[in-house]
Amino acid sequence: MKFNPIQTLEKIAKIIDCKFVGDASFPVLGMNEIHVVEPGDIVFVDHPKYYDKALKSAATIVLINKEVECPEGKALLISEDPFRDFNKLTLYFNPFIASKESISPSSKIGEGTVIQPNVFVGNNVTIGKNCLIHSNVSIYDNTIIGDYVTIHAGTILGSDAFYYKNRPEGFDKLISGGRVVLKNHVDIGAACTIDKGVTGDTTIGEGTKIDNQVHVGHDTVIGKKCLIASQTGIAGCVIIEDEVTLWGQVGVTSGITIGKKAVISAQSGISKSLEGGKSYFGTPADDFRSKYKEIASIRLIPAMLEDIKNLKK
């Protein structure tokens, strides 16, 4: 999430009422999670295990809960609770604004686009030309939709990220301030849910087709010309490269990459990054040849046990 206008280190420190290390006029361009940070961004870290990663990241402002040596060319914000203060910044720069109409007057809708009855279009939404949005679709604030996009009934674009911190008193939610972006010629089936990014974008690439009842988690990036069949669940921060096929009921864990032109068979569970250009199945998913060898070996176990039993007689 970028700030407009650019902020200063001193101004950010005042907003969250914390100490800072660095020049008061140090420029702050935005805020992002660690996997999408760029120079000028704030990143937060609240666990010693990740201090080094945050301090060495592309972010030039680190919101941290310990006074540490500041890396050259960077600045620090010293906070008792970086998670809480990151939420404060999201609410300050991207506050929730309640809608008063089904289609917000701040939305932009392209020529030739058809919006069926009972569709909700939030604030600052952009929809391209020649799209078809079926009834009971909900398009949350700041969503970007390209040209020639079809979205079927009951789909939700821009729901919050499933991202919580476990505190003694209960789960504390990380507030989502990102967007959903659909490129041109995307088709989304009925009753799908696509979560917005925490600070960045959840993106569906050009020409990708998504079946009914598919979930796409926050900050996931899906490439061009992918096919995703029904009841597939994709966790947050996943990268799916171009022309990948996921058949029905595939489950994908967070933070992994599926390579270009990979094909995943139905009901597979993906627990690690997969190389492109191969076919996979099973849980955990593996390439066809390895999985068939594994299955063949398992089928030999009863006979092997019977042989051992006979040897003992």
Which residues are tagged catalytic? Answer: 218
Could you write out the DSSP letters of every residue in the chain? Answer: -EEEEEEEHHHHHHHHT-EEES-TT-EEEEE--GGG--TTEEEEE-SGGGHHHHHTSS-SEEEESS--PPPTT-EEEE-S-HHHHHHHHHHHHS-----SSSB-TT-EE-TT-EE-TT-EE-TT-EE-SS-EE-TT-EE-TT-EE-SS-EE-TT-EEEEPP--EEEETTEEEEPPP--EEEE-TT-EE-TT-EEEPPSSSEEEE-TT-EE-SS-EE-TT-EE-TT-EE-TT-EE-TT-EE-TT-EE-TT-EE-TT-EE-TT-EE-TT-EE-S-B-TT-EEETTTTEEHHHHHHHHHHHHHHHHHHHHHHHHH-
